[in-house]
Structure 1
Amino acid sequence: MKITVCGVDLAKEVFQFHGVNAAGKVEKRIQLRRGKVMEFFANMAPCLIGMEACGSAHYWARQLQSLGHTVKLIAPQFVKPYVKTNKHDAADAEAICEAVQRPSMRFVPIKNIEQQAILAVHTARAGFVKQRTAQANQIRGLLAEFGLIVPKGLALLKERVPTLLDEAKDELPGAFRQTILELLDHLNVLDKRVKQFELEIQNWHRSNSMSQRLEKIPGIGPITASALVAAIGNAKHFANGRQLAAWLGLVPKQHSTGGRTNLLGISKRGDTYLRTLLIHGARAVIRHAANKIKQDWLHSLLSRRHKNIAAVALANKNARTVWALLAHDREFRADYAAA
């Protein structure tokens, strides 16, 4: 009998293959070197291939789809319960093969090259933002050891540090002053890199109609909109907005038993980067909400709940709005009321 379903445990060099036939009997277990993967699957009849959603999964999914196979990606946490024995490559491949056949299994949408490219820009920008913050904190901490205090804020740091060094030049050793100036130059380089990546994101945003559509939602700017469009892809993979919000980890974590419902804080599952962007955008909306007429949903929520809870609630609402706009090809309307 021919192989109808197989699981592939991806790796850098050695891949593990586990294939079964229509009756569920094991037909082949084999290790594949990276250079032999395409040749091996090219000689196979089209079948269902399951893989864990890891770093190179989207690339291999596109490559195997080009050979006529059906590829489905599974989140690693959904594969783990099917590992029967100790963890090793063969057991993982068998677990993937078993999990991909489950009718209730949830799958990860396969990203195209354009989606991966803009997400790579977002990843690079986030890395430089983290380095910039660390560098600014290091400069602030070193100055504090000499009694020089700089207010919070990147702009104030760049503006005040040269002045502080000039005022205290008679009290500070030359080596220390030179070190701080070099660290400040490095901070400026990092800031320049961040702005360059933000410009690339802006250019991509202007060329994408869906990203421009999401930008109209209060609390969502070009960076958040472009990241959402690239990460979500086809919004119709989600049945409704609630599923998208749950995918982003913006819904309560549940620990219920015996018919008693117990809701905890947000689950924090899914993409941390997207969730952070949505919540920070919601905080910006709340910060400016005081200047508006206090009659809308947000002001009503702020009157009875803490602003952090309101920020997460608004982020959840924005996620559902994003799904509605993308799935139904609509434009954002601030005065829209559900039927």
Structure 2
Amino acid sequence: MDLHELTDFIMEKGKNRFPDPDAVAKAIQKAARSSYRLPKTMNDSVNQVLSISITSMKALESQIKEFDKAIKAQMELLPNVLISIPGIGPVYSAGIMAEIGEIDRFNSQAALAKYAGLAWKQHQSGGFEAEVTRLIPSGNRFLKYYLCEAAFSLVRCDKEYSDFYHLKYKEVNRCQHKRALTLTARKFMRLVFRLLKDNRLYCPAK
């Protein structure tokens, strides 16, 4: 299929999870052009290995679904304001709440951001301040993971966060997705802090 058709196929089957489906389509076409047919003696062995791998993946997917059901059942017994956010289901909300613990431990969203590793180093000298800074190396990497994954899910479900992500994506020419996702996760973290602190449901901006 041509590039446009392949890109549409990837977007549909990937459920818009790929940040740059056009680049994925080009990579697949390149791999297809450089591939070659295996000899019969190797073909059966390769097919068997692939079959075993696919069976293992399906078994893992089945286990993940069972764990998701168990997490959902447990979360239904707890007060959970984060479930009101579009795209944030019981698994993401459970991970975030478990890693944060008691929200009253943090007196500000900045303190929570530092705990999650979503804070930036300050590079400045006198009146100069660097335009490009890196995230602090410390922080709870599990909380950071859940915030980033949940933020990307929110990008697909909420216009405000979708617009914010794509705005940040277009601001630079390199590391676009990583930068945009990190900044979106930082924005999302402020929302999480406020909802948990006030114990209220999410109300999207009109």
User: Which of the five TM-score ranges fits, normalised by the shorter chain?
Assistant: 0.5 to 0.7
CA contact (8 A) 1:286 1:311 kept: no
1:194-214 alpha-carbon deviations (Å, 9 max, x no partner)? 22222222222222222xx11
Aligned pairs for 1:64-143 (under 5 A) are none
* Structure 2: tracts of 5 or more residues without a match: 1-31
Partner of 2:201: 331
Relative contact order, higher structure (CA 8 A, sep 6+): 2
Structure 1 residue 235 and structure 2 residue 103: aligned? yes
Q: What is the CA–CA distance in structure 2 between the aligned matches of 1:175 and 1:296, rounded to whole Å?
A: 48
* Structure 1: tracts of 5 or more residues without a match: 1-143, 149-167
Partner of 2:152: 283
Q: 1:296 to 1:286 in 2, by over 3 A?
A: closer
Q: 1:234 to 1:295 in 2, by over 3 A?
A: closer
- Name the larger-Rg structure: 1
Aligned pairs for 1:36-51 (under 5 A) are none
Q: What is the CA–CA distance in structure 2 between the aligned matches of 1:286 and 1:295, rounded to whole Å?
A: 4
Structure 1 residue 266 and structure 2 residue 129: aligned? no
Q: What is the CA–CA distance in structure 2 between the aligned matches of 1:200 and 1:186, rounded to whole Å?
A: 21
What is the CA-CA distance between 1:308 and the residue it aligns to?
3.7
Partner of 1:320: 190
If the length of structure 2 is used for normalisation, what is the TM-score?
0.64
What is the CA-CA distance between 1:225 and the residue it aligns to?
0.7
Partner of 2:123: 255
CA contact (8 A) 1:249 1:270 kept: yes
What is the CA-CA distance between 1:216 and the residue it aligns to?
2.3
Q: What is the CA–CA distance in structure 2 between the aligned matches of 1:284 and 1:276, rounded to whole Å?
A: 12
Q: What is the CA–CA distance in structure 1 between the aligned matches of 2:110 and 2:161, rounded to whole Å?
A: 27
1:106-161 alpha-carbon deviations (Å, 9 max, x no partner)? xxxxxxxxxxxxxxxxxxxxxxxxxxxxxxxxxxxxxx9x847xxxxxxxxxxxxx
Matching residue's letter, 1:236:
D
Q: Identify the match of residue 194 of structure 1 among 64, 73, 88.
A: 64
The structure that is helix-richer by fraction is 2
CA contact (8 A) 2:165 2:181 kept: no
CA contact (8 A) 2:166 2:180 kept: no
Q: What is the CA–CA distance in structure 2 between the aligned matches of 1:320 and 1:294, rounded to whole Å?
A: 13
Q: What is the CA–CA distance in structure 1 between the aligned matches of 2:183 and 2:204, rounded to whole Å?
A: 17
Please, which moves more after superposition, 177-186 or 225-234?
177-186
SS of 1:194 mapped into structure 2: helix
What is the CA-CA distance between 1:333 and the residue it aligns to?
1.4
SS of 1:253 mapped into structure 2: coil
What is the CA-CA distance between 1:246 and the residue it aligns to?
1.6
If the length of structure 1 is used for normalisation, what is the TM-score?
0.42
Q: 1:184 to 1:304 in 2, by over 3 A?
A: closer
Matching residue's letter, 1:195:
K
Q: What is the CA–CA distance in structure 1 between the aligned matches of 2:40 and 2:85, rounded to whole Å?
A: 53
Percent of aligned positions that are identical: 25
Q: What is the CA–CA distance in structure 1 between the aligned matches of 2:152 and 2:180, rounded to whole Å?
A: 9
Q: 1:321 to 1:189 in 2, by over 3 A?
A: same
Q: How many residues align?
A: 169
Matching residue's letter, 2:98:
A
Q: What is the CA–CA distance in structure 1 between the aligned matches of 2:48 and 2:161, rounded to whole Å?
A: 53
The structure that is strand-richer by fraction is 1
Structure 1 residue 209 and structure 2 residue 111: aligned? no
Q: What is the CA–CA distance in structure 1 between the aligned matches of 2:36 and 2:204, rounded to whole Å?
A: 50
Q: 1:287 to 1:334 in 2, by over 3 A?
A: closer
Partner of 1:221: 89
Q: 1:300 to 1:176 in 2, by over 3 A?
A: closer
